[in-house]
Amino acid sequence: MNRLPAAQRILLYAAFLVLLATGVLWESVSAGPWASALMKVHGAAAMVALVLIGTLIAHHIPAGWGSFRNRWSGVLLLTALGWLVASGYLLYYSGSETLRSFASQSHLWVGLAGCMVAALHLWRSAITSVR
Ligand code: HEM
Ligand code: HEM
């Protein structure tokens, strides 16, 4: 058993749904006040998500690793999150236009792929559950 406490699970779902929604909406609006409002919300949700990922490092990940369940989907999820964090950093601080454009493209596609990996992690968790 490696279930997350309800509050932690709900906060995780909420933060990642806001990240996905604001990221996808930002792609579909043109530059202007809406786009900048969406990025302000996205940046705030990203900071909340980083705290929540920290809480998983404290217990969920080591406990899940030791149980041998969900290892591959968990590692894939962590890899995608790692790239989202690294490319998010580049979006803020990269001085180079080429690097920023690479970070922008890869951030979006890894964000979308990461949602599918999250679905895989939850599905694996449901089918291997011993509850
Ligand atoms: C190597 C890394 C990871 C491992 C080994 C792992 C392992 C597991 C396991 C074994 C379960 C099944 C729990 C159960 O049904 O009792 C699970 C569920 C879950 N994991 Fe992970 N996990 C990892 C990373 C992550 C990450 C990075 C996230 C989120 C960003 C995450 C979010 C969840 C959620 C939301 C569930 C469903 C929990 C529930 O039903 O209460 N996991 N994980
Ligand atoms: C832990 C997860 C995430 C972190 C830490 C993160 C972080 C960031 C940061 C720092 C920015 C730059 C904000 C700005 O320019 O004002 C950004 C932009 C963006 N994010 Fe995320 N994000 C995450 C997840 C996602 C997800 C799941 C998506 C899904 C589509 C996504 C899509 C986008 C898009 C489209 C942009 C605008 C890119 C650009 O400026 O060219 N992000 N994100």
pLDDT in tens, the chain (131 residues): 789 999 999 999 999 999 999 999 999 999 999 999 999 999 999 999 999 999 999 999 999 999 999 999 999 999 999 999 999 999 999 999 999 999 999 999 999 999 999 999 999 999 887 55
pTM: 0.93
Nearest CA to ligand 1 atom 24: 74
d(CA 34, CA 27): 11
Domains and CATH numbers, the chain: 6-127 (1.20.120)
Ligand 1 within 6 A of CB of 84: no
Six-digit token string for 94:
């990269």
20 CB near ligand 2 (under 6 Å)? yes
Closest to 42 measured CA to CA, from 9, 16, 80, 11? 16
Please tell me the residue having the least CA distance from ligand 2 atom 4: 46
Give the C-alpha separation, 100 to 55, whole Å.
29
CA distances from 77 to 2, 4, 43, 50 (A): 16, 16, 20, 14
CB distance 77 to ligand 1 below 6 Å: yes
Rounded distance, CA 23 to CA 33, Å? 15
